[in-house]
Amino acid sequence: MPRDFAEAAGRRSDLVIGREDSFGAAREQLTRGGSVLLYGPAGIGKSTVLRTLAAEYSGTAHTVLRCSATESESHLPFLALADLLGTVLDEVSPALPAAQRTALESALTGRGESTLQRDGLALRLAVLSALRALAAAGPVLVVADDLQWLDAASAELLGFAARRLGDTPVRLLCAVRTEGPETGDAEYDRHLRASPPDTRAVRLGPLTRAQVSALLDERGYTGLHRSTVRDIHRTSGGNPLFALELGRALAESPAAPRPGEPLPVPTSLRALVLSRLEMLSDEARRTLLVASAGARPTPALLHAAGRENAEAETAQAAALGLLAPDPEGPTVRFAHPLISAALYAEAPASERRAAHAALSTAASDPIERARHLALATTGTDPQVAGRLAEAAALARDRGAPSVAASLGLLAARHTPADGDPGPDERRLTAAEDAITAGEPDLARDIAREVLTRATAAGERVRAWMVVIEAAGQALGEVDAVFPQALADAGDDPRLLALVHYQLAWRSLVVQGDFAKGREDAAHAARLAARGGDRRTELLALAFQAQSETLMGHPDAAATIRRALEEPQDPRVACHHNGAGSSRFRWLVINDRLAEARTAVTVLLREVRRRGMAESEVHYLRFLSETELHSGHCGRALELSRESLTLARDAGIGEGAGVMQAALAEAAGGDPDRALELAREAVRRTEEDGDVVYLSRALAALGHAHLVAGDAVAAVRALRRVRELEAGAGITDPARGRWQGDLAEALVRTGQPAEAMDVIEVTRTHALRLGRGSVLAVLDRSEALVRAARGEHRAAVTRLTSTRERLAGLGFGLEEARAVFALAELHAERPGRAPEPASYDEAARLFRRCRALPWLRRVEAAVAARAAGPAPAPAAEPDGLAGLASMERQVAALVMEGATNREIASRLFVSVKTVEATLTRVYRKLGIRSRVDIVRLAAGRRPD
């Protein structure tokens, strides 16, 4: 390994990023007393995970033995064994028989000659006896990195002992390098056979793009465009060390790569692959260069580009391990993206241009031809710029806005300063494509560059609009932009319409003033109509309709109809801020769930076809919300997770995505996870200054607290929601549907009078607006108030009616909650035996909804009734009182001796959730293992 490459590996922190699943699996195995073998390719993070696990479990071991082999020393016999046992030789020698002691001392000290051929049996038994002797004093942890470079003698001896340790408390924590998924299983299998029988092999695979982004941020490589992070992820193949080296090269580079140019590949990474390239013939190397320049090279494409012997030359490269078979077809696929990047980076600029020139005529796709033509051309050229602009338009129509943005920037680069359209106009079009593609940081940088020199009012206002759009929900951060944009717009109605449309969003998001936002949007629509800008007019009308819907304004339906009138702009029609989105929101609020599901499904399909990343994030969230109302909790959870993954990956819509994910987790997943997400949503919206979504996030937090059984915290969060929405002038209770939760939480905390006030105020607005589902939920809450006052008959009657109405409206989860409340009332009726059938019906409905947290509450209630009056609670062990409800349940089952799989089954959660919960328990209690939990329960402090 080159020295600078090795040093980079050594400097990495022990923070494990993107390894939660692998780390959890290894931790669980070690906790059970088993051994672990980590495996994966170079740089994948094995040593980082190994170090972190070793640090965590070293405290539980009486003896820790370590070795880390190197390639340069792998020929030295017994070297690894000396690293492992050299420091404890004096301690174990007295316990060994004379023959074993002599053989082991000779092997470790070099005094006298000892070989496996001569002293094989004595040495093997000596290593086994030494480990047993150490284990007699306490648990032993053997940590061995880079097993592939262990000297043969040490590997043989360690394997012999490992296979015979049996119940001896010796755990092995090892790591081995494998080349890749194709050969990795065969490579690690040999090492697995030399490990204890209970060893768990844990493969470390590539990181996702979001994980690579987090890793780069952690190492200080911040401020990178998401498109750049995407390129780093693709070039590194998700390998964390490769990604860090590419990030370091970018940080040290004086200028960022221009559109179409590759990432700078540092010497440390080039050296990994270029040595094999030296074994290629010159012609084969040129063929590979053409392949590296192509987007999806095939033998036919290479032939068309003038590489007559492409098959033979690619076969030569494959024999050297530079190319790998492509299971999807005849594509020439590099064994690792880094090989292609290093080859391209190493080639002289003239050879690169020649490769692109050949591909500009050989490629069949017009977008590819235009891209290669641009990269083969130096300087400005209006014909090349025109070809690129046409290719960008084609990419846009194909639903590839990210490609369109890249081609647009290439077009601007080749456009003469006096061209028509000019280079800045083409840059702004590229910036708008970047916004569509979910790359706001790239769009923002382009717009700011244009603003440094643009003088034309139209270009300046367009640039300001890009800056505002790129801010997302954090509009407060660009407050200073609005006066400048208004000044540049002058009295041009088209330009003023653009600014006033964004001012409407500012009124809503920053000030939380729905009425002002509606007025600004209506003004923007009038200006746009006067200026003939139908696109902005439609967007403004859609905003006005959405504001009116959320305000409960009587004109909402009429405004939606105006926004849906022809002529339409196809991109606005499916945009998440367009009329289709406003109509969806109106349908949901009016309890027309089936129509809403159909509408949002059509919109989602269309934005996916067009590559509209931000709209896709929002429509996945909208569909999750619809499924949650319908009682399809499992489906809602899947959709919310998909939406949040896309949002985090693109850095857009995260606050709203986290909020919906919290609601979905509370309904169908893990209540503790729901609380974590809801708190994150509140934090994000407060940081963004987003008043609108702050109330939604707080409502999600209150709901998560209620599901988790903490009614006091639920009241605290939901009272804030009530205050915020009253201040914003929001009167439609179907907007957030939090009022029933607040009333229920107030009843559970002994405040029925305030609960009734919430119900009566909300009912007034719900009756005015005809919100049937809200009225039914309010009746359910009122039944709880009546029950708290002792009016059981009236409460039962109201709950029975509520259940029927909610079922008719299709609100499955709310129906199940009404049945559950009815079951609890039956169970609490004085002088009457509880009716198990009521609980059975609640369980059936929650099971149908896949509402696992609610199902667990039913089962807990049934178990409590079956057990009779509960005895006085035993004093909780010191330290356990600070755990959340799920953490306490998991800890209690650990005390009973349940495995993680058994705990998952009993609590209706995944094994991963149990592992993650245990991790939080360990961290909160300052302990390291399941044994420590049992010690705490027994009133003993962990060692």
Tokens matching residue 215: 């890793």
Pairing of strands 333-334, 323-324: antiparallel
pLDDT score for 861: 83
Q: How many residues make up the chain in this entry?
A: 943
Tell me how far apart the alpha carbons of residues 40 and 177 are, in angstroms, rounded to a whole number.
5
Tell me how far apart the alpha carbons of residues 456 and 463 are, in angstroms, rounded to a whole number.
11
Measuring CA to CA, how many Å separate 196 from each of 130, 193, 215, 795? Answer: 16, 8, 34, 63
Answer yes or no: are the C-beta atoms of 37 and 197 closer than 8 Å: no
Tokens matching residue 435: 């916004």
Tokens matching residue 937: 């329960």
Tell me how far apart the alpha carbons of residues 258 and 132 are, in angstroms, rounded to a whole number.
62
Answer yes or no: are the C-beta atoms of 169 and 63 closer than 8 Å: no
Give me the residue label for tokens 């302990």.
Answer: 927
Tokens matching residue 177: 């390098």
Tell me how far apart the alpha carbons of residues 600 and 620 are, in angstroms, rounded to a whole number.
8
Answer yes or no: are the C-beta atoms of 335 and 273 closer than 8 Å: no
Tell me how far apart the alpha carbons of residues 118 and 106 are, in angstroms, rounded to a whole number.
12
Cis status, amide bond into 567, omega within 30 of 0: yes
Give me the residue label for tokens 């000596």.
Answer: 126
Residue 165 has a CB neighbour count (10 Å cut-off) of: 21
Tell me how far apart the alpha carbons of residues 265 and 250 are, in angstroms, rounded to a whole number.
9
Residue 888 has a CB neighbour count (10 Å cut-off) of: 16
pLDDT score for 183: 45
Q: Name which of 627, 609, 608, 621 is nearest 648 in CA terms.
A: 621
Tokens matching residue 760: 């009566």
Phi, psi of 926 (to 5 degrees): 65, 35
Answer yes or no: are the C-beta atoms of 424 and 412 closer than 8 Å: yes
Answer yes or no: are the C-beta atoms of 19 and 36 closer than 8 Å: no
Answer yes or no: are the C-beta atoms of 766 and 775 closer than 8 Å: yes
Measuring CA to CA, how many Å separate 255 from each of 258, 264, 348, 742? Answer: 9, 10, 19, 55
Tell me how far apart the alpha carbons of residues 195 and 158 are, in angstroms, rounded to a whole number.
8
Buried b / exposed e along 46-61 (16+ C-beta atoms within 10 A): bbbbbbbbbebbeebb
Phi, psi of 294 (to 5 degrees): -80, 155
Tell me how far apart the alpha carbons of residues 910 and 907 are, in angstroms, rounded to a whole number.
9
Tell me how far apart the alpha carbons of residues 907 and 901 are, in angstroms, rounded to a whole number.
10
Output the DSSP codes for 774-828.
HHHHHHHHHHHHHHHTT-HHHHHHHHHHHHHHHHHHT-HHHHHHHHHHHHHHHHH
Tell me how far apart the alpha carbons of residues 911 and 573 are, in angstroms, rounded to a whole number.
43
Instruction: Give CB contacts under 8 A, 24+ apart, made by 600-604.
Output: 600/626, 603/574
* CA 763-768-772 angle, 5° bins: 65
Cis status, amide bond into 421, omega within 30 of 0: yes
pLDDT score for 1: 32
Phi, psi of 173 (to 5 degrees): -120, 105
pLDDT score for 880: 58
Q: Virtual CA dihedral for 328, 329, 332, 334, nearest 10 degrees?
A: 20
Helices 457-470, 481-489: inter-axial angle, 10-degree rounding: 150
pLDDT score for 112: 55
Tokens matching residue 319: 């024999």
Answer yes or no: are the C-beta atoms of 809 and 775 closer than 8 Å: no
Three-state secondary structure along 330-378?
Answer: CCCEECCHHHHHHHHHHCCHHHHHHHHHHHHHHCCCHHHHHHHHHHHCC
Q: What is the mean pLDDT of each run of 10 residues along the chain (943 residues)?
A: 35 61 87 90 89 88 90 86 90 90 83 63 91 93 91 89 90 85 55 81 88 87 82 89 89 73 79 76 93 91 94 90 79 88 88 95 93 93 95 93 94 94 96 91 93 95 96 87 96 97 92 90 97 96 90 88 93 93 93 96 95 92 97 96 87 87 96 94 88 90 93 94 87 92 94 95 94 96 92 91 95 95 80 62 94 91 68 49 70 77 65 75 76 65 51
Tokens matching residue 335: 């064994």
